[in-house]
Amino acid sequence: MRLRVLEDPAALAAAAAREFAARAAHAVRARGRFAVALAGGSTPKAAYELLATEHAGGVDWRRVHFFFGDERPVPPDHPDSNYRMAREALLSRVPAGSVHRMRGELPPGEAARRYEEELRGFFAGERVPRFDLILLGLGEDGHTASLFPHTEALDETTRLAAANPVPELGTTRITLTLPVINAARAVIFLVSGGGKAEALRAVLGGPAGGEDPRRYPAGLVRPGGEMLWLVDRPAAALLNGG
């Protein structure tokens, strides 16, 4: 695990865009394609906009295959849709090899089932899909993707995508599961803002004695590949040396 503290959200977004572009180039050279799962939120959006502008000519977009880490139960043109955000910031502005959205307009259970089928089709021959990169965020409650504290999907060991009821929000989200996230070649967390400082401290510090690790789901992300945390200074305020 590596941690990089950036001065502000703009610096964080720039670093994330550079990491994405570099890893895309490496994956295309090594394997002929770059499979990435996108995150939602304002910090990834800024990074996506940089990819569509400053890095537009530095990525072989036709070999980039886009997936999503999670989605809300809304249509693709809804303001809350992660797909809509990514489409407006990046996907509509580059000639992507393929885009695989979670169908939030469907009942969540059906949407999760269809996404699992899509994953198995694209990653044919792999028991668990191995993404080249998965981008994740961190909520103030410690959630990541749509893996919320003490929710059912945290216990999933075989399914690739799940419909995860979130009672606190009165909704059900569609999310990649921990087996998929932890199989990735690389996971990059993007964390911005002082409101995330306590959750970040808890996740990076590990569970205290007797504390349920499911309290901070981001702490359950332990990929077999590389894990990089890109955080801005306010988010790092409670870390040693933050």
Over pLDDT 70: what percentage of the chain?
97
- Predicted confidence (pLDDT) per residue in 3-31, tens digit: 999 999 999 999 999 999 999 999 999 99
In CATH, 2-226 is 3.40.50.1360: yes
In the chain, domain spans: 2-226
**In 3-state terms, the chain is what percent helix, strand and coil (to 5)?**
40, 20, 40
Given this model, what pLDDT does residue 7 score? 97
**pLDDT value at position 73?**
98
Distance of CA 19 to the CA centre of its chain: 14
12 vs 114: CA distance, rounded Å = 34
Mean pLDDT of 202-209: 79
Q: What pLDDT is attached to residue 41? A: 86
Cα–Cα distance, 122 to 125 (Å, whole number): 9
Q: List pLDDT tens digits, range 58-92.
A: 999 999 999 999 999 999 999 999 999 999 999 99
